[in-house]
Amino acid sequence: MKILVIGSGGREHALALAMARDPSVTQVHAAPGNPGIGAVATLHPVDIDDRTQVASLAESLAVDLVVVGPEAPLVAGVADVVRAAGIACFGPGAAAAQIEGSKWFAKDVMASAGVPTAMAHVCDTEEQVVAALDAFGAPYVVKDDGLAAGKGVVVTRDREVALEHARGCRRVVVEEHLDGPEVSLFAVTDGQTVLPLQPVQDFKRIGDGDTGPNTGGMGAYTPLPWAPADLVADVHERVLVPTVREMERRGVPFTGLLYAGLALTSRGVRVIEFNARFGDPETQVLLALLDSSLGTLLHSAATGRLHEVAPPRFSPGAAVAVVVAAQGYPGTPRAGDVIGGLDAADALEGVDVIHAGTTSADDGSVRSSGGRVLAVTARGTDLAQARERAYAGVALVDLPGSQVRTDIALRAAEQDGAG
């Protein structure tokens, strides 16, 4: 099977690496990719938000499957155009990708499907925002209705900060605040069959102890030793299946990866958000443990034959990913710094250095080119070992001014050891 991965981040590096290690995959291509992806795939410099460029590349390479990584090309309809060219594509079309592209659309789907989520008001004017903030009280949750690369949400006790964020957006959704730990649960679906993956926890804030502004994700681990045993079955039945059925009922069947961001509140599971694609850096840890064929799974989903494949299997150990972010992130990240120690870190047992914001310079060096620069991803027999290996890798990576959280998977590893 020949695969084309669309995107250039950490998630796409993890996908390309898993494909390259999959015996059912013969060739891996990527567009536009990054230096890490270039080590396991053939790179093609195309504009991935241009639907026709992606479809012509897929046709000229005669690939069996296109896997679209990021949300922007999905919302732009890349999957629709690839499918119209007769090529299997993993990822929803533009209409179904609105489950991520519009917070309000997602709320509407959840309301129709009876899926538990935070109460919310959509607001187009400042008066509406003020009324909604006062109705819910602090802490305030204000979300940009459109795509904002993980930075559209402000959670604050400061009413002025909440109002200021709303002023910077065209339309916002103001929500009830949900407490309790967060879990990311992904499901692969062909629009009918829904196969959940293992739950993951992501660390959204920039600073240790969940302080500072939200980011796209500073680290992740799986499995979750503290999660309720029936979590996956519960979310499958009450969230994933009803949502997929409701999308079908609306005439916008969802195929691809349905990402449920969940809060485990004292009153039960609530959906914080849906995404229409693999999460980053959650995908890094999930694929590090995936023990069945990724190519077969995604191809079956893209061709409506998911009922024919066995549910994905994961190795019994644990995986931890620690993100190395650039100075300035999540504001304006500094770019162009030489990154040292990549090969040494990658050579550690159980470790893969997954590239995100990196680029190859003319002098042969690898340099930073984005906010989240890379994720050191490690497998281990348990969370403590995976953590130790990931941080040993981080210690070898040399990026001036870099930001790293020191507490990724810390509490879970302690609980794991105690249990």
Contacting residues toward ligand GLY, per CB under 6 A: 150, 202, 216-217, 275, 279-280, 282
Nearest residue (CB) to ligand GLY, 29 versus 91: 91
Q: Does 232 bind ligand AMP (CB under 6 A)?
A: no
**Which residue among 49, 108, 182, 382 contacts ligand AMP (CB under 6 A)?**
182
Nearer CB in complex with ligand GLY: 71/337? 71
Residue in the structure block whose two tokens are 């979590």: 231
Q: Which does 110 bind (CB under 5 to 8 A by kind): ligand AMP, ligand GLY, none?
A: none
Q: Residue 190, interface with ligand AMP (CB under 6 A)?
A: no
Show the tokens assigned to 395.
Answer: 């210690």
Q: Mask 133-152, x = binds ligand AMP (CB under 6 A)?
A: --------x-x---------
- Quote the CA–CA distance of 282 and 224 in Å, as a whole number: 12
Asked if 286 and 183 touch (Cβ cutoff 8 Å), the reply is: no
Residue 217 binds which entry of ligand AMP, ligand GLY, none, CB below 5-8 Å type-dependent = ligand GLY
> Can residue 155 be called a binding residue for ligand AMP (CB under 6 A)?
yes
List of residues 6+ apart from 321 with CB closer than 8 A: 219, 220, 221, 281, 284, 285, 288, 354, 375, 376, 377, 378, 390, 408
Residue nearest to ligand AMP (CB): 273
DSSP H stretches of helix in 141-225: 159-167
Say if CB 66 and CB 82 are below 8 A apart.
yes
* Contact status: 177 vs ligand AMP (CB under 6 A): yes
Residue 63: count other Cβ atoms within 10 Å of its Cβ: 22
DSSP structural state of residue 307: G
Residue 279 binding result from ligand GLY, ligand AMP, none, given CB thresholds of 5 to 8 Å by partner type:
ligand GLY
DSSP-derived 3-state class of residue 85? coil
Q: Which of residues 78-117 bind ligand AMP (CB under 6 A)?
A: none
Q: Cβ 4 to ligand AMP, closest distance in Å?
A: 28
Identify what 71 binds: ligand AMP, ligand GLY, none; CB under 5 to 8 Å per kind.
Answer: none
Closest to 239 in 3D by CA, of 202, 287, 201, 186? 186
Q: Are 144 and 154 contacting, i.e. CB atoms less than 8 angstroms apart?
A: no
User: Could you say which of ligand GLY, ligand AMP, none residue 175 binds, taking C-beta under 5 to 8 angstroms by partner kind?
Assistant: ligand AMP
Shortest distance (Å) from residue 177 CB to ligand AMP? 4
Pair 185, 286: CB distance under 8 Å = no
Q: Nearest to residue 141, comparing CAs of 120, 111, 127, 123?
A: 120
Token pair listed for 160: 């002025």
Residues 267-296 that bind ligand AMP (CB under 6 A): 272-273
H-assigned helices in 31-93: 35-38, 51-61, 71-75, 78-84
Q: Which residues bind ligand AMP (CB under 6 A)?
A: 118, 141, 143, 153, 155, 175, 177-178, 182, 204, 214, 261, 272-273
